[in-house]
C-alpha cells in the first residue's frame, strides 16, 4: 500500500522541534505516511509565500497540524489551514501537550501518540 503524503504545518517560530519529531516518526519502517513538505519560514501576507504554500499543500493527501503553545494564533499556520480547507485537503491536528489550544476551524485535536499517528495518518 502506498504511503500517504502529508504536509506538516507548524509554528515555524516556536515548534521546529515538533517538526523534527514527526520527521523521525515518518522514517520508521511501519510508518503509514511520508512527509512531502512542511511549513516554510512564514510571511503569510506575502503573495509568493501563499502561492508556494498552496502548491505544496495541494500536492499532499493531508495536512497535519502540529499544535504547540502558540500554533492556534500563528499567521502561517492559520493561512496553511485555510489553504487546505479551500482545497478540501484532510486536516489532522496533533497535540504536543493535552492542554494545547487547537485551531477551532480545523476540527478536533488528537493526542500525539504513535497509536494515534498510525490510525489517523494511515
Neighbours of 108 (CB within 10 A): 8
Residue pLDDT, tens place only, 55-112: 999 999 999 999 999 999 999 999 999 999 999 999 999 999 988 999 999 999 999 9
Residue pLDDT, tens place only, 23-67: 999 999 999 999 998 888 767 788 999 999 999 999 999 999 999
Q: Do residues 77 and 49 make contact, with C-beta atoms less than 8 angstroms apart?
A: no
Range of the domain at 28: 4-121
CATH number reported for the structural domain that contains residue 34 in this entry = 3.40.50.1220
For the chain, the domain total comes to 1
Amino acid at each position: 500500500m502506498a504511503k500517504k503524503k502529508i504536509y506538516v504545518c507548524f509554528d515555524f517560530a516556536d515548534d521546529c522541534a515538533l517538526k523534527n519529531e514527526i520527521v523521525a516518526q515518518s522514517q520508521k519502517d511501519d510508518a503509514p505516511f511520508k512527509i512531502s513538505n512542511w511549513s516554510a519560514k512564514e510571511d503569510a501576507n506575502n503573495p509568493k509565500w501563499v502561492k508556494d504554500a498552496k502548491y505544496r499543500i495541494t500536492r499532499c493527501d493531508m495536512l497535519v497540524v502540529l499544535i504547540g503553545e502558540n500554533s492556534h494564533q500563528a499567521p502561517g499556520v492559520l493561512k496553511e489551514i485555510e489553504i487546505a480547507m479551500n482545497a478540501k485537503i484532510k486536516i489532522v491536528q496533533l497535540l504536543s501537550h493535552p492542554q494545547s489550544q487547537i485551531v477551532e476551524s480545523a476540527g478536533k485535536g488528537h493526542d500525539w501518540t504513535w497509536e494515534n499517528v498510525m490510525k489517523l495518518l494511515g
